[in-house]
Amino acid sequence: MKKATSKAGRAKNSRMRAEYDFSRGVRGKHCKAMQGGYTITIHRADGTTVVKEVVPKGNVVLLEPDVHAHFPDSRSVNKALRCLIPLLPKKRRAL
């Protein structure tokens, strides 16, 4: 069971300012929209504007939060999946 902490207690234990409250935050709220790509507009001090189109790479895989908790990085995910590959039926391996 998690121990309840007050805002003041959290502020002492972290570098986050006390006025920031993420208690009603939603993880991954914009994830699906970002998968389709997005545009970044940079307004420079000299009056010029730069527009960059960003499209995620095709080999990006998103993990659910409960799965992500067990894998600290991409290397550990790849290692686990490589262990599972030999267990797949031969028909599935050719995909």
| pTM reported for the whole predicted model | 0.40
Distance CA 43, CA 50 (A): 7
Residue 7, pLDDT > 90, answer no
More confident residue, 17 or 5: 17
Mind listing the pLDDT tens digit for each residue in 9-64?
554 567 888 888 888 888 888 877 787 888 999 999 999 999 998 887 777 777 88
Domain-wise residue ranges, the chain:
27-93
Locus of tokens 């234990």: 13
Q: How far apart are CA 85 and CA 93, in angstroms?
A: 7
